[in-house]
Structure 1
């Protein structure tokens, strides 16, 4: 082979190597572009994460359990905040139907939930997530030796009840009817927490409240079970509201409430399984 032929062959080999190198560079460039697209897609999906405030209107008896779940929700979904408005279910229902901005309504009875559904303010069908039963709250140590619902009719006792319009008051009236009893309290309170506070402050000797509230009060009161309470167990329904400002996050909060973890927290607070 002469010198000219050898040079020609070498030049062809050099060109093949250069071409392979260029192909490799193009492949790397394509991979880099693909990785960039994946990163962009990942960034897009992260922007879909839950954020913003979830406003929950809930029965006063749910306060301790829902506040625990609210903190858990915020921890699981950074960038969210759960705010609560607790009170009598009837007044909360009136606020919802009156146009108050909220995402979720959790009521202490199906009757007060019906106010919201009849007004067309519930999105979908409300679902019962827990139940609750009445108990008598007495002063610590039960100094008046209260052992039954009938004992509350004694003239020497100052007894408070919830308003008849709120679920705990309606349940108390149902229990009294079941026992064939009549009771005139010293006051009717707007919600269960207010009734319990009267006993805690020693402004009343006893109150008919939920067992969950007796448990939440700790050693500030003492609870007394009574058989008529079995005839007045309340179902607690929850719903997404029709014009929820943050519907996506609200659905996630409701899912937490209804989950095994939510049930564990609420039954731990004294609620019954639905």
Structure 2
């Protein structure tokens, strides 16, 4: 597979050539019409609320920067970058997915951890007691696809416990799993603790000791080919710093572990 750095350089070269031929700016320079620097931050779907808040903090401290957020399943984000997407910063829901970017990212650092929980309809009407209860074919369970970090975590719990779940659907992001539960399309879903907390009284939660053994570590890194390296590095520093720790903690994320 061609590295994402190579793809991004190729896209930039093609844009430059087109601009010369056409006599116009054929591609975005990363600045909007207001003259602000556009910082493109790609983040796992489970980071939606916290990164939205952190982006607001960053913009208040840097009034010449417009932070553009792109949320999706971590694997989808990596694929977008491999195909030449103009990202400056990426945060994924596990280290294995970040590692797929290879040398396209600089010095990824873990900034938070997360674990799974079972989300059900309010009141837990199916009386699900634990992870093993999801093996009951009468329980419509939805999970993340194994290619996505929350799906890989689910598969790890299945392997550790010997419980075999037959899901009614496999979603591309944890937010999609949660939506299936809150809409009534599924009785239960394997989501992160933070997503269930963010859903408030829309869901009930069921824990299991097996979840504590599978911890997702969230890394963040600037892209090597970023045209706004200084802002990218400062945004990463903010997430790794006190502001980031407070916002992440309020959302239910645990701090990095050794």
Please, what TM-score do these two structures have when normalized by structure 1? Answer: 0.79
- 1:249: how far off? 1.1
Displacement, 1:146?
A: 1.1
Cα deviation, 1:208-250, whole Å, max 9, x if unaligned, reads: 0100000111111111111111121101010000111221111
Residue segments in structure 2 that go unaligned for 5+ positions in a row: 1-35
99, 121, 130: which is aligned to 2:104? 121
| Correspondence 1:83 to 2:65 | no
Instruction: Give per-residue Cα distances to partners, 1:66-97, cap 9 Å, x unaligned.
Output: 00101111111112111111111111111112
Which structure 2 residues correspond to residues 84-233 of structure 1 after superposition, within 5 A?
84-117=69-102, 120-122=103-105, 124-233=106-215
User: Residue 248 of structure 1 corresponds to which residue in structure 2?
Assistant: 230
Give secondary structure in 2 for the equivalent of 1:125. Answer: coil
DSSP-derived class of the 1:94 partner: helix
Give the superposed CA RMSD. 1.2
- The whole-number CA distance in structure 1 between the counterparts of 2:42 and 2:162 is 35
Runs of 4+ in 1 over 4 A off after TM superposition: none
The total of aligned residue pairs comes to 222
Higher helix share: 1
Quote the Cα distance in structure 1 between the aligned partners of 2:167 and 2:138.
12
- The whole-number CA distance in structure 2 between the counterparts of 1:151 and 1:256 is 41
Q: How far is 1:184 from its partner?
A: 0.8
Alpha-carbon separation, structure 2, partners of 1:254 and 1:174: 29
2-structure distance, mates of 1:87, 1:232: 22
CA contact (8 A) 1:198 1:204 kept: yes
* C-alpha distance in structure 1 between counterparts of 2:65 and 2:76, whole Å: 27
Which sections of structure 1, spanning at least 5 residues, go unmatched? Answer: 1-50
1:260 equivalenced with 2:239 (yes/no):
no
1:40: which partner in 2? none
User: 2:46 pairs with 61, 66, 69, which one?
Assistant: 61
